[in-house]
Structure 1
Amino acid sequence: MLSPAAYHDDQDYISPFTIYNPNVIPDDPSFSDLVRQTEIAIDCGILPERIYQGSSGSYFVKSSVNKTIAVFKPKDEEPYGRLNPKWTKWLHKLCCPCCFGRSCLVPNQGYLSEAGASLVDTKLELNIVPKTKVVRLVSETFNYVRLDREKARAKRAVIERFPSLGRRFNRIGLPPKTGSFQLFVEGYKDADYWIRRFESEPLADSIQKQFQFEFERLVVLDYIIRNTDRGNDNWLIRYDKPEVSKDTPEEEWAFVKPPAIRVAAIDNGLAFPFKHPDSWRAYPYHWAWLSFAKVPFSEDIKNLVLPKTSDMNFVQDLCDDMYLLFKQDKGFDKNVFEKQMGVLRGQILNLNQALKDGRSPVQLVQMPSVIIERSTDQSNGSLRSVIKQRFQQESPIFSWC
């Protein structure tokens, strides 16, 4: 299969990495290398495999040794994207638009939301979102319209018969797709699985404290990005519990690893709304109904988060980084983006207050919805930034879904 590439005058194939490559990320060479491994694997015939769960077109991508290394979600195959291979979402939108879709979100920006969640995670040092960035990939297994496939087939036929014409084509093969590329995590299971286990097999106090801290990281992330799609099936838990038999010699106990527990926040594509939900559904955080959410925030999470989120320069830097990420979308609207950041700033304000007051996650989500708007005002011949705080009064009809 031919991937996007160029040809010399002698028609020899040139790797995309010898010319400009949008997948090369200068400040993260290890991530760039993983993307390159994926492209090499695709060129060798190890193609991405569609994930049949979920409501969008998403794919496991692999390395040249056939190992899954990431999940790729193309922009045009999102739930309401024009090439979503799962027709049920199209039917939902066509037949009952008021009950499906999220009116508080910018349509078809899920790939940016995935990368944005990773950015927030990195800035706050939460370390629960698998690293995610925006890349461009092409594969026969992606969903393309018939015309694109016919064009690619025709170009290949022309080049095979008349090699000298190859340089006349701007692109050989199928068009690349822009989407989110999230590193694959191993050894994790759905949170729902472990939560049920913990009910019958309670954790030891030391592990419970460790898990509570991990859970609080998830709460902080979801609240700041105002995740509208967090159920117990789209965050993961890895619990490494050493298997020790009664016959284990005493001298071997020193080599037994202590139990460890980690949380991974995946499926972050339905976040960063430009307003709080105020129509049909509330899109609650389902973790708020867990017993862990009734425990007041720990000193550990306060020490990790408060020094950063209480610093207005840090918050502005975060918004600036989000701007650089979001503006690469062709449908970017600066006014809408400012509204998204208004929600984000309001969430940070509430979070800071909850942490300082010693509240719990469930008390945090019960706080009034705040929006912090930033605008410019010209007075006395000079421009100055104006910050305004307001509460969103409108509430959705159904608060439990």
Structure 2
Amino acid sequence: MSTTTTKSLLTRKLVTRTDVVSPVAPPPPPRESEDDISLYMTCSNAAGDVRTVRVLEHEPIVDLSFGIHTHQGVVRSGKKLTFGNPELKKNCEVAHMSTVAESLGGDVMHMAVQLKDLLYVRVRTVEHETEVAIRRNQSVRDLKEVVQREEGIEAEDMQLLLRGRELDDESAISETALSDGTILHLLVRNRARVRVQSATGKKLELTISSSESIESLKEKLDKDHGIDVSSHRLMYKGRELQDGRTLASYGISRIGNLSLEVLNPQKKDGCDSTEGEVHLLSQSIEAAKRGLLHGFYPELASSGSGGAYMMYDDGGSPVAVFKPEDEEPLAANNPRPLTYIPTVPGEGLRRGTKVGEGAKREVAAFLLDKNHFSSVPATTLVKFGDGKVGSLQQFVLSESDCENMGPSLFSVKEVHKICLLDIRLANTDRNGGNILVKESPNGYDLIPIDHGYCLPSSFMDCSFEWAYWPQAKVPFDAATCTYINSIDVEEDLTLLKQNGVGLRPECERVYRISVSLLQKASKALLSPHEISKVMCRDTPTSQSPLEKLVSDAYVLAAAENGVRVKKSASLPGILEGCSETEYLNKVEELLDSYLLETSSDDLQFACQD
């Protein structure tokens, strides 16, 4: 057989059926020269296309391979050319194939393109069957994505079954029992898009199989979104979803709008007085609902820097105060526009606070007021219909506030309960106007309100009006010290998270340090006045001793790890150069040294400046 004899190259279209067209040698076209060889590629498509690849007698196989891959359906890599069983070497010449073919006594040379690591599997649904190609080193998840492109079915909704067993997404194709021609059965999960609104107003959307259980949904909310479902109940159309049942059993097959409600959000073991406050707040909420039905709509308070609305009962008497998140000072819908421009975008009126966090801080102050020790009015987060989310606080009828009454009228005990709260929360906005005065058989009770600027991320704006009241210069009594020592920071932070009002990491840090200072200082018999001298600035531009201490602690903790960082009064949420534990341990160490070197009469910062 001469080298000018026409040869036929047989292959197949890689992404279609596995059948191969019978070898039929088409009539040879006119040759371009006596040295060229015409190779015909017959494809197994519906049209039975025949395509020609022309090569020279002495061209290497690598050039032939390159010529073949330019035809639609033939991949460039992951294939090999075979003539009989052996693979053709890339440096072999085309003429060699002709010689072999002639020695076999044929005038048509049969060649095939074989894939080195591709499998062809058939994916069968109840309606039809599709063949797809997948590499052995890819995963079952990759296979699903190939099927998704072919069938338009979301990969997350697929179950691929091999002999009745579902293939795991993470398994490699080479680890399965798949081979060429294997039939996989495709089942499509009936999935529901579940929209969940938390008690804080946060909206989440999940896609989950309607056949999954309520427990499975709760696990996803806990694991993926940090919601402690043990303290919530999941509601759908006014019904609580029970564990042990599926979404489908509640008629949730496509879209379901669910809500999370806090289970007794402010209740803690052994806190009977707090539980009573929650009950009163529940009564206030019901009374406000009746008031709305009778036409007593929320009324904007006459004073303040943001939106605060009085809620009335059906008789027109005030029962609660509502503060929407989107009407806080500097928020988009604040009814009292302010000209103040914060130095940090998104920062509130006080440094270390953020616009939109005030409502949650109001709730946090009440939750942390264990046993109602400091008399913070009962507060919770509410949502009006499908609209505004904000804090709702029980209305307290009072005679006046501390701005209009001299502090000499108040007992040490009443003042100290406010001092304790503000130190603990690193309050940046304690003034006489937000301490209500209520007459009682024993004199006057003080009621602290407006806690939207507590629990900040730094100590830069701590401010306590009571710091120079005479009562603040008296050390805490034994009962108050016992209460202070009972504060459990980890328990507190968990409680806030459970109720959907968790803090930013940097705010958690400030809370830890504030409680530590309060507990250490009370044991050292420092008065609230003396503690305020540690926390608060003497002038707006000078740092407080505590600001210097926390900055020094950061520098020293990082230095022990060989990292140099800059001093800063406001630390980032994630520290560089040291872990959070290493940093807090260094703060504790410096606090202990500072309190040992500090006398009650002369508070001077003893750490290195």
What TM-score results when the alignment is normalised by the length of structure 1? Answer: 0.64
2:238 aligns with one of 5, 12, 19: 19
2:395 aligns with one of 181, 184, 195: 184
1:116 aligns with 2:364: yes
Q: Which residue of 2 aligns with 1:324?
A: 498
Contact 1:77 1:85 in 2 (8 A): yes
Spell out the pairing of 1:293-308 with structure 2 (5 A cutoff).
Answer: 293-306=472-485, 308=486
Separation in structure 2 between the aligned mates of residue 94 and residue 286 of structure 1, nearest angstrom:
23
Spell out the pairing of 1:259-270 with structure 2 (5 A cutoff).
Answer: 259-270=442-453
Runs (4+) off by over 6 Å: 20-24, 94-100, 372-376
1:137 aligns with 2:384: yes
Structure 2 counterpart SS, 1:347: helix
Separation in structure 1 between the aligned mates of residue 504 and residue 347 of structure 2, nearest angstrom:
25
1:78 aligns with one of 317, 321, 328: 328
- 1:87-116 CA-to-partner distances (Å, cap 9, x unmatched) read 1x1x22289989983231122200011111
TM-align CA RMSD: 3.5
- 1:138-173 CA-to-partner distances (Å, cap 9, x unmatched) read 5xxxxxxxxxxxxxxxxxxxxxxxxxxxxxxxxxxx
Contact 1:93 1:100 in 2 (8 A): no
Q: Which residue of 1 aligns with 2:521?
A: 354
Structure 2 counterpart SS, 1:92: coil
Structure 2 counterpart SS, 1:114: helix
1:58 aligns with 2:277: no
Separation in structure 2 between the aligned mates of residue 221 and residue 391 of structure 1, nearest angstrom:
21
Separation in structure 2 between the aligned mates of residue 99 and residue 326 of structure 1, nearest angstrom:
21
Q: Which residue of 2 aligns with 1:3?
A: none
Q: Flag the structure with more relative contact order, 1 or 2, with Cα contacts below 8 A and sequence separation at least 6.
A: 1
Structure 2 counterpart SS, 1:55: coil
Structure 2 counterpart SS, 1:108: coil
Structure 2 stretches lacking a partner, 5+ long: 1-234, 240-257, 265-277, 535-544, 555-572, 591-609
Separation in structure 1 between the aligned mates of residue 398 and residue 300 of structure 2, nearest angstrom:
20
Q: Which amino acid aligns with 1:288?
A: A
The 3 A distance-change label for structure 1 pair 25 and 327 is: closer
Spell out the pairing of 1:351-390 with structure 2 (5 A cutoff).
Answer: 351-367=518-534, 368-369=545-546, 386=581, 388-389=583-584, 390=586
Q: Which residue of 2 aligns with 1:224?
A: 424
Spell out the pairing of 1:285-296 with structure 2 (5 A cutoff).
Answer: 285-296=464-475
Contact 2:342 2:349 in 1 (8 A): no
Contact 1:136 1:176 in 2 (8 A): yes
Q: Across the two proteins, how many residue pairs are aligned to each other?
A: 288
Contact 2:328 2:355 in 1 (8 A): no
Contact 1:190 1:237 in 2 (8 A): yes
Q: Which residue of 2 aligns with 1:272?
A: 455
Q: Which amino acid aligns with 1:84?
A: N
Q: Which residue of 2 aligns with 1:7?
A: none
Bigger radius of gyration among the two? 2
Separation in structure 1 between the aligned mates of residue 429 and residue 335 of structure 2, nearest angstrom:
21
What TM-score results when the alignment is normalised by the length of structure 2? Answer: 0.43
Q: Which amino acid aligns with 2:478?
A: E
Contact 2:319 2:395 in 1 (8 A): yes
Shift of 1:260: 3.1
Q: Which residue of 2 aligns with 1:343?
A: 510
Separation in structure 1 between the aligned mates of residue 346 and residue 279 of structure 2, nearest angstrom:
44
Structure 1 stretches lacking a partner, 5+ long: 1-15, 139-174, 241-257, 329-335, 377-383, 394-401
Separation in structure 1 between the aligned mates of residue 308 and residue 331 of structure 2, nearest angstrom:
12
Separation in structure 1 between the aligned mates of residue 395 and residue 517 of structure 2, nearest angstrom:
32
Give the structure with the higher percent helix: 1
Shift of 1:137: 2.1
The 3 A distance-change label for structure 1 pair 301 and 32 is: same
The 3 A distance-change label for structure 1 pair 19 and 347 is: same
The 3 A distance-change label for structure 1 pair 35 and 99 is: closer
Percent identity reads 24
Structure 2 counterpart SS, 1:133: strand
The 3 A distance-change label for structure 1 pair 340 and 111 is: same
